[in-house]
Amino acid sequence: MQGQRNASQIRTFEPALRDGKPVPARTPMTLRLVAKRQQGDRYQVEIRHASFAAYDPKDPRAVTSIRTPPPAYPEAAYRAGASGSAYLVLKVARDGSVADAAVEQVNLRIVASESEMQRLREIFARSALAAARKWRFRPPSEGKDVSAPYWAVRVPVNYSLRDQPNQGMDGSYGHWISYVPGPRARALWDTGEDASGFSPDALSAGGVYMVDNNGPRLLTPLQGS
């Protein structure tokens, strides 16, 4: 399997500072590895995206979930045997309601014609947006963001059929999942500049992630990013 050497190369981060001095730090890490079949039984593996964000539902410095029931499975997608993941970016108002919502990306775990995949992406996007507009969040009560006029957060929404792997959930970590990445879109409001190597589909399921707090900033480019 190719790619072992590059994947193991040392990555460099901006140092964590305390009182202006670098200090040791730990961070969670989620990687999206992409394997492409080569000749015979050989595969080329790339580190495509990375996230160093963590979700702590008890963190008073971040937006956290109060009520975020998952959407119902879209009937049209169910009939087509389609599954996928919608990656949302939300503008959370000061009262914890969702003031605006956008879909940054929809990945599919089904291969079809371009027109059919576009139709399925739109189905999952509409479903996720409809659910998200009813969600409620707890605004930060401490820290530098407490007085912000609104907060931008990212929330992954997974759609998986019973007999298919559920991307990002505990049972699928460490397993290969075939997927078709969708195009990346941007929210109409400012979500800032992405960290090097970041993509919404590197975020772990079940979390609420502050857009401007993606953890340590990677200085070394990722292979394949």
Pairing state of beta strands 136-138 and 151-159? unpaired
| pLDDT at residue 46 greater than cutoff 80 | no
Q: Report the residue count for the chain.
A: 225
pTM of structure: 0.78
- Give per-residue burial for 137-168: e unless 16+ CB within 10 Å, then b: bbbbeeeeeeeeeebbbbbbbbbbeeeebbbb
Quick one: DSSP state of residue 97?
A: B
pLDDT bin (cut points 50, 70, 90) of residue 74 is very high
pLDDT of residue 139: 97
| pLDDT at residue 51 greater than cutoff 80 | no
| pLDDT at residue 182 greater than cutoff 80 | yes
| pLDDT at residue 7 greater than cutoff 80 | no
pLDDT of residue 49: 57
| pLDDT at residue 185 greater than cutoff 50 | yes
Mean pLDDT of 134-161: 95
Reported as a single tens digit per residue, the pLDDT across 110-132 is: 999 999 999 999 999 999 999 99
Mean pLDDT of 167-173: 50
pLDDT bin (cut points 50, 70, 90) of residue 205 is confident
Contact present, 90 and 156 (Cβ < 8 Å): no
Residue 160 is encoded by which pair of tokens? 């998986």
Residue with tokens 């108002």: 93
pLDDT of residue 212: 80
pLDDT bin (cut points 50, 70, 90) of residue 194 is confident
Classify residue 67 as exposed, middle or buried by CB count within 10 Å of its CB (0-12, 13-18, 19+).
Answer: exposed
Comparing 95 with 192, which gets the higher pLDDT?
95
Q: In order of start, what are the domains of the chain with their CATH numbers?
A: 54-210 (3.30.2420.10)
Comparing 213 with 94, which gets the higher pLDDT?
94
Of 20-24, 55-59, 90-94, 97-101, the least confident: 20-24
pLDDT of residue 87: 96
φ and ψ of 22, to 5 deg: -65, 140
| pLDDT at residue 186 greater than cutoff 50 | yes
Contact present, 160 and 166 (Cβ < 8 Å): yes
Closest listed residue to residue 152, CA positions, set 161, 140, 142: 140
Please give the Cα distance from 132 to 134 (Å, whole number).
5
Residue 25: CB atoms within 10 A of its CB come to 12
